[in-house]
Structure 1
Amino acid sequence: MTQREWLDRDFYAALGVPSTASAEEIKKAYRTLARELHPDANPHNTQVGERFKAVSEAYAVLSDPAKRKDYDRTRRLFRSGAFARTGFRPEAGTTTTAARAGSGGFDFGDLFGSHSPFTVGDPLGGVGDVLGDLFRRAGTRAASARPRRGRDVETETRLSFREAVAGMVLPLRVSGPMVCTSCHGSGARPGTRQRTCPHCHGVGTRNRNQGGLGFGEPCDDCRGTGSIVDTPCPDCQGAGIGDRTRTISVHVPPGVSDGQRVRLPAQGEPGLAGAPSGDLYVTVRVDPDPVFARSGDDLTVTVPVSFAELALGTVLSVPTLDGQISVKIPPGAQSGKTFRLRGRGVAHRGAAVGDLLVTVEVAVPPELDHEAAEALRAYARAEETSGFDPRAGWAGKR
């Protein structure tokens, strides 16, 4: 992708999204178009193949935050006529080679530096930063041809509360770009090889003049890779990378909490020019449990009890992750009191096990039959005779 193409092409229009589109909207538009225009779904249709290539190129720029920022600011710069307003003209005899950043001659980083007239009242917010970085990246080889680590990929999965506490091995289906399994990323049909580009001699860049300015741009013939594929791989159309769906095993550790991410090294998008793949991050969403809640590594459970059970004392059967356990409630325990059962909570690998916190709470019957109501009135009278006042000392009462 040359700098001239950055100026001439509208990547937003290629994807059918506005320039204000979010990263998620751009990704969604690309996936929709990629499915419609994929060569496998449109065999022998060269026009659709060219459209698929244009959509892929647009997504490659707009999905990368740094590239998208450079693309937007560079197009805004040239459309605004910033060069014409400065009155800048290259010196006679300035060669294309000298105009390349890092060549020892004319340097865009110096031209747009802090003492340059281009930065005075710059309405674009740092023209020098844009072009200085842009042309330095052109360097002696196209940025697209340099080894570059693949991008990290994020996805989500949902577990039940008990699955998250216990941990599990989860089969996860992932769709996205992967190294072509037929050509192993070379882009050449199996049994054939790439050859060195005869126009750039494997460097990946060629020198051009545009409006009196010298540009070191990626070679059009090899697209900045330095190599040419004469017989493209039929599975990936010579790209070396293709979209496919695969199933991978995700080891979710015991005790994972809602929103926690699990990292799978080298399971993200493939790298360029032999660079390593990115990582896959799986965000775990945990469904609530009807019985248990969680506080750090402790499990919490609320057990409904009757007034008589708390007043007289009782033994409760309380659920745990492993079954039932008996808990002795002493006479006179108050509603809302919490009992701690050691080692019955969440277990983390290599860490201490949390506790189970059992809270007792009085359940009041919504209705009473005649016999129960009379018995309760008799108890109330006996309670009053004994001198018990539940609100004694409350709110200043004596």
Structure 2
Amino acid sequence: MAKEDFYKLLGVGKNASDAEIKKSYRKMAMKYHPDRNKEKPEESEKNFKQIKEAYEILSDPQKRSAYDQFGHAGVDNSMGGGRGGFSGGAEGFGDIFGDVFGDIFGGGGGRQRSNVQRGADLRYNLELTLEEAVAGTEAKIRVPVLTTCSECNGSGAKKGSSPVTCSTCQGHGQVRMQQGFFSVQQACPTCHGSGQQIKDPCHQCHGQGRVQENKTLSVKVPEGVDTGDRIRLSGEGEAGANGGPSGDLYVQVQVKDHPIFTREGANLYCEVPISFPVACLGGELEVPTLSGKVKLKVPAETQTGKLFRLRGKGVKPVRGGSVGDLMCRVQIETPVRLTKEQKVLVEQFRETLSTGGKHHSPQEHTWIDGVKSFFDKLTG
């Protein structure tokens, strides 16, 4: 009789992760446990054997790869005996439930488990000016972090001594609790899963193996970073417990607001004031950029709000690409506090905009009326 598909037996898809496979396996193991199906023990045992075989194949990367390529034919030799076989009765069920519940309660089938732990990752918020973000910089930061104790080298034991094997679990880190048919693993209450006891703790770290310190680091900030970008400093996080590797430090970039420029992607934007005569007659302006001032030619009859593009004066993207542009939006400044002479000149200018006996089209009249209204407000 052809065997049923292992993925189907566990109720998962072929793209299921290891965690999803394990979770489904636990659920199915509970469902088909003979103690829960006393009315149909033989059928229950058969189903239990099938899901055990399925899990042992799909939880092993090499066996799973062979199964995905060749089906049952690719893993038949792997299932001929030993751990892949099934020994019925209480002993067989005890082994399988040792694996299932061992992960839940911190156990592992009675095997000694390492208590080495990777240190936690940390985050540091780094504020930069727009100039620093665009050009790149090297920043010094000070980070409070757990580091390996220099006195005991992370062992937690007083100098000259060392941790001893836990007398409760004999160094396994877990203890087995028998509850009727079930045999459940859980962390040792004496050593909390480490398998060791510290009789004489280090006076500097008080047996923890790590101490809090302020660490000064140098962060190289590449040009073009923006708010939300992260810089990863490998191994600069918290020290691991019991000799475990250190975590990483993630430097989160926050760019401060600039008084002149705003940024949108690779482009910069700014507003430049121009006088009314320059807007009318044209001229040349000095425009600020992040690298100094440049000249901008303004054509005659420029309207307020017009946008001028200065190519290559923006930002070089941190992930590559061409340098952005600087977009300058001109704003015409209305003159204030006019002298009597200036008011006379403005009045004369306004009179030159009148019809003067000359015929104008309706569109021209509309424009002239608008200018008159504007200068009426200007002169108060």
1:355 corresponds to which of 325, 337, 347:
325
Aligned residue in 1 for 2:353: 383
Aligned residues, how many?
Answer: 276
- Name the SS of the counterpart of 1:134 in structure 2: helix
Distance change in 2, residues 1:383/1:102 (3 Å): farther
Alpha-carbon contact 1:100-1:214 (below 8 Å) kept:
no
2:208 maps to a residue whose letter is A
Aligned residue in 2 for 1:262: 231
2:272 corresponds to which of 303, 309, 323:
303
Aligned residue in 1 for 2:203: 234
Aligned residue in 2 for 1:104: 95
Alpha-carbon contact 2:102-2:186 (below 8 Å) kept:
no
Q: TM-score, normalised by structure 1?
A: 0.60
Aligned residue in 2 for 1:75: none
Distance, in Å, in 2 between the alignment partners of 1:254 and 1:216 is 53
| Cα displacement (A) at 1:211 | 10
Q: Matches of residues 150-165 of structure 1 in structure 2 within 5 Å?
A: 150-165=119-134
Segments of 4+ moved more than 6 angstroms? 98-102, 141-144, 210-213
Distance, in Å, in 1 between the alignment partners of 2:244 and 2:367 is 74
* Percentage of identical aligned residues: 37
| Cα displacement (A) at 1:144 | 8.7
Tell me, yes or no, if structure 1 residue 373 matches structure 2 residue 343. yes
- Name the SS of the counterpart of 1:176 in structure 2: strand
Residue by residue, what CA displacement relative to the aligned partner does 1:263-322 show, whole Å, maximum 9, x if unpaired? 222222233444432222222222111111112111112110012101111110111112
Q: TM-score, normalised by structure 2?
A: 0.63
Distance, in Å, in 2 between the alignment partners of 1:324 and 1:101 is 81
| Cα displacement (A) at 1:367 | 3.6
Distance, in Å, in 1 between the alignment partners of 2:113 and 2:337 is 76
Tell me, yes or no, if structure 1 residue 201 matches structure 2 residue 192. no
Alpha-carbon contact 1:99-1:105 (below 8 Å) kept:
no
Q: Matches of residues 173-322 of structure 1 in structure 2 within 5 Å?
A: 173-208=142-177, 215-322=184-291
- My pick for the range that moved more, 240-249 or 363-372, is 363-372
Q: Matches of residues 1-150 of structure 1 in structure 2 within 5 Å?
A: 103-104=94-95, 106=97, 134-135=104-105, 137-140=106-109, 145-150=114-119
Distance, in Å, in 1 between the alignment partners of 2:289 and 2:262 is 12
Distance, in Å, in 1 between the alignment partners of 2:132 and 2:176 is 59
* Two-structure CA RMSD over aligned residues (Å): 3.4
1:314 maps to a residue whose letter is G
Residue by residue, what CA displacement relative to the aligned partner does 1:113-167 show, whole Å, maximum 9, x if unpaired? xxxxxxxxxxxxxxxxxx78623x3224699944443322223122222222222
**Structure (1 or 2) with the larger CA radius of gyration:** 2
Alpha-carbon contact 1:205-1:218 (below 8 Å) kept:
yes
Residue by residue, what CA displacement relative to the aligned partner does 1:161-189 show, whole Å, maximum 9, x if unpaired? 22222221111111132322332322123
Distance change in 2, residues 1:173/1:141 (3 Å): farther
Distance change in 2, residues 1:346/1:325 (3 Å): same
Alpha-carbon contact 1:160-1:289 (below 8 Å) kept:
yes
- My pick for the range that moved more, 383-392 or 290-299, is 383-392
1:307 maps to a residue whose letter is F
Distance change in 2, residues 1:230/1:298 (3 Å): same
